[in-house]
Amino acid sequence: MKALLLQEKGKWNEMKVNEMDMPSAGKGQVLVEVHAAGLNPVDYKTATGGNPNWTYPHVLGLDVAGVIAGVGEGVEQWKTGDRVLYHGNLTQGGGYAEFTVAKAHAVSRIPDGVSFEEAAALPTAGYTAYQAVCRKLPLSQVHTLLIHGGAGGVGGFAVQLAKLAGKQVISTASSHNHEYVKSLGADHVIDYREADVTAEVLRITGGRGVDAVISTVSRQTATEALEQIAFSGHVVHIAGAPDYGQIKPFTKALSIHEVALGAAHQSGDLVAEQELAAIGNEMLQLLAEGKLSSLLEEVVALEAVPDALARLSERHVRGKIVAKLK
């Protein structure tokens, strides 16, 4: 089969399409013929340092949409021809290939009317946002949210999900993306390059602060959130925990939540892996009903993935990029 091969760590920008052996489905697994695979920053980040579980050449690509081409021993819920989506295991081979394998219990069904490209835009960014907004936060007690990076993948999905839940949404983005982020549902967008984000948040909320901050950018934005949340507020961090030393204990009664989507595969917790499939099914249904945008901005060929990842690494890409294989 054809696959985009990483020959050694650090060489992701030199990946080429070449032939490699086709995998087969083991016990509890499904073989998937890949139709589309989503691109994510985690691809170039992990490829830069490598992973001790990898052998080379290695195939990247965590977000996979395709068709079941075979089932392993003990798999009864799937059959050949089913359209599926899944978030892959970082330690295993990925979806930048014509075929790959996945755990059957971690796979979601793609509804009719949803394309493979739209579906493949969801898992890494979308499931992370879904965990942050819909699983970690007590939404009945949260009325205002600050969501960083509204023009990006995680931020863009989080803005949509928070607005679907009827919340007031403040987001951050470069000025040229303000209208785009507002089109996703943000009520206010702050230019993080030009404005004092904390001062703007306090101004918008009448000095109280927001009920929750979803930090998608860095440890610094998570730490700054400690000044932006209201009493009994919540900080959800995806890219680094806040520096707790920046706030005096027992002054804000805050709650801190970690989102580590891919860790479900390494946890050894079957329920955690099944939760990935459940989130996928819920998000795919929202997509099918027209309540959620896939954020799909660009479709590229498999050969063009390294160049697209290079653009992603510059952190100025809006929405999602997907590779089309079929």
209: domain CATH number?
3.90.180.10
Residue type, 6: L
Identify the pLDDT of residue 139: 94
> Does 107 lie in the same domain as 11?
yes
For the chain, which residues score pLDDT lower than 50? none
Domain termination residue (choose one: 208, 232, 258): 258
Residue 263 lies in a domain: no
Identify the pLDDT of residue 245: 86
Residue ranges of alpha helices (H) inside 233-316 are 263-266, 270-288, 305-313
Identify the pLDDT of residue 228: 97
Can you tell me the distance from the alpha carbon of 309 to that of 283, in angstroms, rounded to the nearest whole number?
Answer: 25
E strand or H helix that includes residue 185: none
> Does 180 lie in the same domain as 297?
no
> Does 174 lie in the same domain as 239?
yes
Can you tell me the distance from the alpha carbon of 179 to that of 190, in angstroms, rounded to the nearest whole number?
Answer: 11
> Does 113 lie in the same domain as 160?
no
Return the residue matching tokens 């755990």: 103
Residue 230 structural domain: 125-258
Task: Specify the number of domains making up the chain.
Answer: 2
Handedness of CA 202, 205, 210, 213 (dihedral sign): negative
Relative orientation angle of helices 219-228 and 197-204, to the nearest 10 degrees? 30
Residue 264 lies in a domain: no
> Does 249 lie in the same domain as 140?
yes
Can you tell me the distance from the alpha carbon of 297 to that of 274, in angstroms, rounded to the nearest whole number?
Answer: 29
Domain termination residue (choose one: 226, 258, 290): 258
> Does 182 lie in the same domain as 65?
no
Can you tell me the distance from the alpha carbon of 206 to that of 230, in angstroms, rounded to the nearest whole number?
Answer: 11
Residue 296 lies in a domain: yes
> Does 181 lie in the same domain as 197?
yes
Handedness of CA 63, 69, 71, 76 (dihedral sign): positive
Extended beta strands in the chain, E state = 2-5, 16-19, 29-38, 63-71, 83-87, 99-103, 107-109, 144-147, 168-172, 188-190, 210-215, 229-237, 255-258, 296-301, 320-324
Identify the pLDDT of residue 246: 87
Identify the pLDDT of residue 319: 94
> Does 214 lie in the same domain as 93?
no
> Does 229 lie in the same domain as 174?
yes
> Does 94 lie in the same domain as 139?
no
| Count of beta carbons in the 10 Å neighbourhood of residue 256 | 15
> Does 130 lie in the same domain as 115?
no
CA end-to-end distance (rounded Å), the chain = 13
Domain termination residue (choose one: 238, 258, 278): 258
The closest alpha carbon to 162, from 152, 150, 177, 151, belongs to 150
> Does 79 lie in the same domain as 44?
yes
Identify the pLDDT of residue 152: 93
Can you tell me the distance from the alpha carbon of 93 to that of 294, in angstroms, rounded to the nearest whole number?
Answer: 25
